[in-house]
Amino acid sequence: MSSFVSVANANGVAAVTIDNPPVNALSFHVRKPLYEALIALRDDPAAKAIVIACAGRTFVAGADITEFGKPVEQPELRAIIALLETIAKPTVAAIHGTALGGGLELALGCHFRVADRGAKLGLPEVKLGLLPGGGGTVRLPRLVGAAKALGMIVSGTPISGGEAKAAGLVDETFDGDLLANAVRFASEMADRGGPFVPVRDRNERLAETVLAAFDAQAVDLAKKTRGLEAPLACADAVRNAITLPFDEALAAERQLFAKLVSGDQSRAQRHLFFAEREAAKVPGKDLQKRRIERVGIVGAGTMGGGIAMAFANGGFPVTLLETSEEALQRGLAMIEKNYAVSVSRGSLTEAAKQQRLGLFKGSADYGDLADCDLIIEAVFEDMAVKKEVFGKLDAVAKPGAILATNTSYLDVDAIAASISRPQDVLGMHFFSPANVMKLLEIVRAGKTAPDALATVTDLARRIGKVAVVVGVCHGFVGNRMLSARGAENEALLLEGATPAQVDKAFSDFGWPMGPFQMGDLAGLDIGWRNRKARGQTAVIADTLCEQGRFGQKTGRGWYRYESGSREPVADPEVDALIRAKAAELGIAPRAIGAGEIIERTLYPLVNEGAKILEEGIAARASDIDVVWVNGYGFPIGKGGPMFWGGLEGAARIVERLEHWHHSTGRAIFEPAPVLRRLAETGRWEG
Ligand code: 3HC
Ligand code: NAI
445 and 506 co-located in one domain: no
- Whether residue 247 is predicted with pLDDT greater than 70 in this model: the reply is yes
In the chain, pLDDT over 70 holds for what percent of residues? 99
Answer whether residue 672 is part of any domain. Answer: no
104 and 182 co-located in one domain: yes
Q: Sort 566 into a burial class: Cβ within 10 Å, 0-12 / 13-18 / 19+.
A: exposed
- Whether residue 683 is predicted with pLDDT greater than 90 in this model: the reply is no
- Whether residue 653 is predicted with pLDDT greater than 60 in this model: the reply is yes
458 and 508 co-located in one domain: no
* Contact yes or no for 618/478 (Cβ under 8 A): no
306 forms beta bridges with none
DSSP-derived 3-state class of residue 454: helix
For the stretch 579-607, what's the b/e string if a residue is b when 16 or more beta carbons lie within 10 angstroms of its beta carbon?
A: bebbeeeeeeeeebeeebbbbbbbbbbbb
What is the number of the ligand closest to the CA of 134? Answer: 1
125 and 241 co-located in one domain: yes
State the DSSP H helix or E strand holding residue 442, giving kind and residue range, or none if neither.
Answer: strand 439-443
Q: Residue 41 belongs to a domain with what CATH number?
A: 3.90.226.10
Question: Which ipTM value was assigned to this complex?
Answer: 0.96
Q: What is the mean pLDDT of residues 197-222?
A: 94
Answer whether residue 624 is part of any domain. Answer: no
Answer whether residue 592 is part of any domain. Answer: no
Which atom of ligand 1 is found nearest the CA of 66? 2
174 and 248 co-located in one domain: yes
Q: What integer best gives the mean pLDDT of the chain?
A: 96
- 125 catalytically annotated: yes
Which atom of ligand 1 is found nearest the CA of 280? 19
Rg for the chain, CA atoms, rounded: 28
Which atom of ligand 1 is found nearest the CA of 128? 44
**Per-residue confidence (pLDDT) for residue 502, from 0 to 100:** 98
Rounded to whole angstroms, how far apart are CA atoms 658 and 677? 15
456 and 564 co-located in one domain: no
The residues, ordered by sequence, that sit 6+ positions from 377 with a Cβ below 8 Å of its Cβ are 298, 299, 386, 389, 390, 393, 403, 404, 405, 406, 407
Q: What is the mean pLDDT of residues 74-97?
A: 97
Domain boundary among 523, 557, 584: 584
**Per-residue confidence (pLDDT) for residue 685, from 0 to 100:** 64
What is the number of the ligand closest to the CA of 132? Answer: 1
The predicted-structure confidence for 476-519, as pLDDT tens digits, reads as follows 999 999 999 999 999 999 999 999 999 999 999 999 999 999 99
Domain total for the chain? 3
- Whether residue 383 is predicted with pLDDT greater than 60 in this model: the reply is yes
Q: Is 75 left (phi over 0), alpha (psi -120 to 50) or beta?
A: beta
- Whether residue 164 is predicted with pLDDT greater than 60 in this model: the reply is yes
- 105 catalytically annotated: yes
Rounded to whole angstroms, how far apart are CA atoms 455 and 207? 54
The predicted-structure confidence for 596-620, as pLDDT tens digits, reads as follows 999 999 999 999 999 999 999 999 9
Q: What is the mean pLDDT of residues 660-683?
A: 92
**Per-residue confidence (pLDDT) for residue 284, from 0 to 100:** 77
CB atoms within 10 A of CB 686: 6
Rounded to whole angstroms, how far apart are CA atoms 285 and 273? 20
- Whether residue 47 is predicted with pLDDT greater than 60 in this model: the reply is yes
Where in the sequence is the domain holding 333, given as residue range(s)? 295-475
**Per-residue confidence (pLDDT) for residue 681, from 0 to 100:** 83
What's the gap in Å between 406 CA and the centre of ligand 2? 8
501 and 359 co-located in one domain: no
Residue/partner pairs of 74-78 with CB below 8 Å, 24 or more apart: 75/31, 75/32, 75/35, 76/31, 77/26, 77/31, 77/102, 77/105, 77/106, 77/133, 77/134, 78/133, 78/134, 78/135, 78/250, 78/254
* Contact yes or no for 228/269 (Cβ under 8 A): no
The predicted-structure confidence for 291-346, as pLDDT tens digits, reads as follows 999 999 999 999 999 999 999 999 999 999 999 999 999 999 999 999 999 999 99
**Per-residue confidence (pLDDT) for residue 1, from 0 to 100:** 63
Q: Pocket residues for ligand 1 (CB within 6 Å)?
A: 22-23, 25, 61-66, 77, 98, 100-102, 105, 124-125, 128, 132-134, 136, 274, 277
**Per-residue confidence (pLDDT) for residue 223, from 0 to 100:** 85
Answer whether residue 363 is part of any domain. Answer: yes
What is the number of the ligand closest to the CA of 62? Answer: 1
State the DSSP H helix or E strand holding residue 549, giving kind and residue range, or none if neither.
Answer: none
What's the gap in Å between 100 CA and the centre of ligand 1? 9
Q: Which of 360, 345, 277, 346 is nearest to 311 (CA)?
A: 360
The predicted-structure confidence for 97-149, as pLDDT tens digits, reads as follows 999 999 999 999 999 999 999 999 999 999 999 999 999 999 999 999 999 99
330 and 465 co-located in one domain: yes
467 and 391 co-located in one domain: yes
Per-residue 3-state assignment (H helix, E strand, C coil) for 191-238? HHCCCCCCHHHCCHHHHCCCHHHHHHHHHHHHCCCCCCCHHHHHHHHH
The whole model's pTM is what?
A: 0.94
**Per-residue confidence (pLDDT) for residue 686, from 0 to 100:** 53
One-character DSSP codes across 290-315: PP---EEEE--SHHHHHHHHHHHHTT
The predicted-structure confidence for 560-606, as pLDDT tens digits, reads as follows 999 888 999 999 999 999 999 999 999 999 999 999 999 999 999 99
DSSP-derived 3-state class of residue 658: helix
What's the gap in Å between 648 CA and the centre of ligand 1? 28
Phi, psi of 440 (to 5 degrees): -135, 120
429 and 550 co-located in one domain: no
From 76, 85, 105, 229, the catalytic residue: 105
Rounded to whole angstroms, how far apart are CA atoms 32 and 547? 71
Residue type, 316: F
Rounded to whole angstroms, how far apart are CA atoms 166 and 143? 11
Q: Residue 527 belongs to a domain with what CATH number?
A: 1.10.1040.50
